[in-house]
């Protein structure tokens, strides 16, 4: 059971890290056809898109990653709490 706990914890950490990297990349000009950038977008877009529909960008600022971080942390705690 501890392995499942650690696996879920690592998956959520990787997702949060990927979102953080995507936020950092949004501040610089990157090639959207770069394979690493495309993989990063494929991983993070399914998580960010629903939040982006709920909270549209304001003044050019996208607040969906902040909401996604909060939602992922709540979901992590609920899932891990159910395991133990």
Query: Domain extents for the chain?
Result: 2-83
| Banded pLDDT at 46 (limits 50, 70, 90) | very high
pLDDT on residue 50: 95
Task: Look up residue 34 and give its two tokens.
Answer: 């770069």
Mean pLDDT of 46-64: 91
Rounded CA gap, 66 and 3, in Å?
A: 29
Rounded CA gap, 16 and 44, in Å?
A: 9
The 10 Å CB-count burial string (b at 16+, else e) for 41-69 is eeebeebbeebbeeeeeeeeebebbebbb
Helix segments in 27-83, DSSP class H: 35-54, 64-83
| Residue 65: pLDDT over 90 | yes
């Amino acid at each position: 059971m501890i392995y499942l706990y650690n696996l879920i914890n690592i998956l959520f950490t990787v997702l949060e890290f990927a979102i953080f990297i995507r936020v950092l990349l949004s501040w610089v000009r990157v090639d959207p056809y770069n394979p690493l950038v495309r993989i990063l977008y494929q991983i993070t877009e399914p998580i960010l898109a629903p939040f982006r529909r709920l909270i549209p960008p304001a003044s050019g600022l996208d607040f969906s990653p902040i909401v996604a971080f909060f939602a992922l942390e709540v979901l992590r705690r609920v899932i891990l709490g159910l395991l133990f």
